[in-house]
Amino acid sequence: MVFLLWTIYTIVLKRESVMIPSPIRVWETFISIARGGYSGILFSHHLRASFVRLFLSLLLGFTTAVPLGFLSGYSQKIRSLVDSFIQFYRPIPPLAYYPLLILWMGIDDRSKIMLLFLAAFAPIYIACVSAIGNIRKDYILSAKSLGASPRKILLNIIWPACLPEIFTGLRNAFGFAYTTLVAAEMTAATSGIGWMVIDASRYLKSDVMFVGIFIMGLSGLIIDKAMLYVEKNLVFWKGRG
């Protein structure tokens, strides 16, 4: 329906609209960018720059937030210490402290990855702490009574019980990190999909802006569906009892 209204508006009412280009013009611009790049930079380089920043920050967030979340779930002292920091910075818009990261770490990818890491860390950490708190105690007590070691309890009871919520936290972290990535590239970058959109806006290239927006939306949808597929096959017991 939206595509139909868009087509009717641009073709019938305002064929040469600058602010809202026609679907055909947007498609032609996409083909042109895919073949020749944008602003002298290959399209594949823009995609690679954005996705390297995104997935590296998610990997760092996952490998640090999950162990720390497990420790916080077991230890009230660690939880009170870490939670105070998490709850302090979590409501702050990422772009509010991004200039500080640029001053400390430079304008290159290190500051961007750190910004995305902070955006992704909190959802995964909170999901882990919540998952630990929701584990049924009788499962652990039953395993202990049968002689299971702490390692077996961790691998066979606690970890499988936490995986569904961890995946939910990971999906939320991806959403936060992706929106933060676009904002970071719009603020200080020379490549990436977000930079391409903001650079095109300076010259009223609305067709390039539409291409960038569609790429971000479609890539986000594809990645989320891929994560759902992995979760469905890896956490096959989710929702069963």
Separation of alpha carbons 25 and 44, rounded Å? 21
pLDDT digits (tens, 9 = 90+) for 120-175: 999 999 888 888 877 777 777 777 777 777 777 777 777 888 888 888 889 999 98
Structural domain count, the chain: 1
pLDDT of residue 71: 84
CATH number at residue 49: 1.10.3720.10
Say whether pLDDT at 241 is over 70: no
Residue 2 belongs to some domain of the structure: no
Question: What 3-state DSSP class applies to 41?
Answer: strand
226: burial class by Cβ within 10 Å (0-12, 13-18, 19+)? exposed
pLDDT class of 40 with cuts at 50, 70, 90: confident
Which contacts qualify for 134-137: CB closer than 8 Å, 24 or more apart?
134/161, 134/165, 135/161, 135/162, 136/161
For residue 76, the enclosing domain spans 22-233
Residue 38, SS3 per DSSP: strand
In a domain, 15, yes or no: no
Q: Which two tokens stand for residue 181?
A: 């990535």
Neighbours of 2 (CB within 10 A): 6
Query: What confidence tier does 56 reach under pLDDT thresholds 50, 70, 90?
Result: very high
Residues 16-26 have pLDDT tens digits of: 566 778 788 88
More confident residue, 126 or 4: 126
Indicate the DSSP class of residue 19.
Answer: S
Q: What is the pLDDT of residue 16?
A: 57
- What is the model's pLDDT at position 124? 92
Is residue 107 a part of any domain in this protein?
A: yes
pLDDT band at 14 (very low <50, low <70, confident <90, very high): low
Question: Is residue 49 domain-resident?
Answer: yes
